[in-house]
């Protein structure tokens, strides 16, 4: 399991355990699974998917390290 934390300037959007996270990277969409290599990447406008939820974002950053995924995003409409 991954520990996912999604933070926007307004609030913590989500904090909990997930099986996987799909994010809109600036070089294309990618999926983060358990034991993913450490990475820091920028995000573009698109949809973040986790646990069957979809969160539209305008952009941001993602960091993955030791099965902990942190997203700092601007929420879109």
E strand map for 19-52: 21-25, 28-32, 39-43, 46-50
Provide the pLDDT for residue 76.
80
43 vs 77: which has the higher pLDDT? 43
The mean pLDDT value for 46-65 works out to 97
- For 1, how many CA atoms within 13 A lie in the half-sphere containing its CB? 6
| Residue range 33-44, pLDDT digits in tens | 999 999 999 999
Provide the pLDDT for residue 77.
67
Q: How far apart are the first and last CA of the chain?
A: 29
16 has a pLDDT exceeding 70 = yes
């Amino acid at each position: 399991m991954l520990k996912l934390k999604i933070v926007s300037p307004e609030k913590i959007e989500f904090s909990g355990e997930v099986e996987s996270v799909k994010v809109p990277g600036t070089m294309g969409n990618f999926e983060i699974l358990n034991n993913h290599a450490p990475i820091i990447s920028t995000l573009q406008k698109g949809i973040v998917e986790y646990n069957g939820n979809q969160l539209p974002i305008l952009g941001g950053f993602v960091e993955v390290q030791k099965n902990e995924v942190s997203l700092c995003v601007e929420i879109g409409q």
